[in-house]
């Protein structure tokens, strides 16, 4: 049982779970005609928006967990450990969206009332529907890029004299694993962020444009892309385990 628990990446598990639920609610339960009542549609819209914010925050914490290996001072290392602790991840990822959704539902009575049988946010509130999620992803991407760039190319930023090489966190990562984690960061941000960039572009045209098609294609293919990434990761894991087993047998 202890071995089983230690093999589970809980933040990644919760992210996959929340993302799956988001797709389920957004594509299956977003039609008021299927739900049967206006109240059920509003509740579904609130749950879907909550799931979206939760997924974004969990993806940000996933990036922070990977970025821990790039910190270069003791202070930053302690901050990184605190920010990626289970308590910080779960409290922030689940409580912050709950607070935001509750506040919006109480103080903006028509926030989830579109009156077009689509269970989502009113188009009047573009800032909450698009700008806020997109801003969180962009800020996270920029911060991640800055930290990685400083750590990998210290000479370009004048940090060569202050970077540590004996970080306890840094010592745990190998070069290959670091490269895989870097790719995972950018793919995660790209896959989750691109549909919202296309959606933002669709807001300024009254007719169907190229952005509408791109949003539909990219948004619909997210699950397939994430599944393929999961399969690729599992294949690499099995190959690594097979190589380790073969190496042990030779010894």
The residue ranges of every structural domain in the chain are: 8-250
Lowest mean pLDDT among 53-57, 133-137, 181-185: 181-185
**pTM attached to this predicted model:** 0.65
Close Cβ partners of 27 (under 8 Å, ≥ 6 residues apart): none
Do residues 54 and 62 make contact, with C-beta atoms less than 8 angstroms apart?
no
Decide which of 85 and 243 is more confident: 85
Q: What is the mean pLDDT of the chain?
A: 77
Write out pLDDT tens, residues 59-75. Answer: 889 888 877 777 767 88
**pLDDT confidence of residue 1:** 39
Residues contacting residue 174 through CB under 8 Å, at least 6 positions apart: none
pLDDT for 241: 78
* pLDDT(234) > 90: no
Burial 136-174 (b: 16+ CB within 10 A, else e): bbeebbeebeebbebbeeeeeeeeeeebeeebeebeebe
């Amino acid at each position: 049982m202890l071995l089983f628990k230690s093999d589970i990446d809980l933040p990644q598990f919760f992210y996959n779970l929340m993302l799956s639920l988001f797709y389920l609610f957004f594509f299956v339960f977003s039609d008021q005609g299927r739900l049967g009542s206006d109240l059920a549609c509003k509740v579904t819209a609130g749950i879907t928006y909550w799931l979206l914010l939760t997924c974004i925050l969990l993806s940000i914490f996933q990036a922070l967990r990977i970025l821990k290996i790039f910190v270069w001072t003791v202070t930053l290392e302690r901050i990184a450990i605190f920010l990626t602790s289970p308590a910080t991840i779960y409290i922030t990822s689940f409580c912050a969206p709950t607070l935001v959704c509750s506040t919006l539902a109480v103080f903006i009575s028509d926030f989830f009332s579109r009156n077009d049988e689509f269970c989502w946010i009113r188009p009047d509130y573009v800032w909450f529907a698009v700008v806020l999620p997109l801003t969180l992803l962009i800020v996270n991407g920029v911060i991640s890029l800055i930290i990685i760039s400083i750590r990998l190319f210290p000479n370009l930023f004048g940090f060569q004299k202050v970077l540590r090489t004996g970080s306890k966190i840094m010592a745990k990562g190998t070069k290959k694993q670091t490269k895989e984690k870097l790719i995972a960061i950018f793919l995660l941000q790209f896959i989750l962020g691109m549909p919202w960039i296309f959606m933002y572009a669709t807001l300024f045209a009254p007719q169907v444009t190229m952005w509408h098609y791109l949003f539909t294609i990219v948004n619909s293919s997210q699950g397939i892309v994430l599944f393929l990434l999961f399969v690729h990761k599992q294949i690499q894991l099995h190959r690594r385990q097979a190589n380790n087993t073969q190496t042990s047998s030779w010894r």
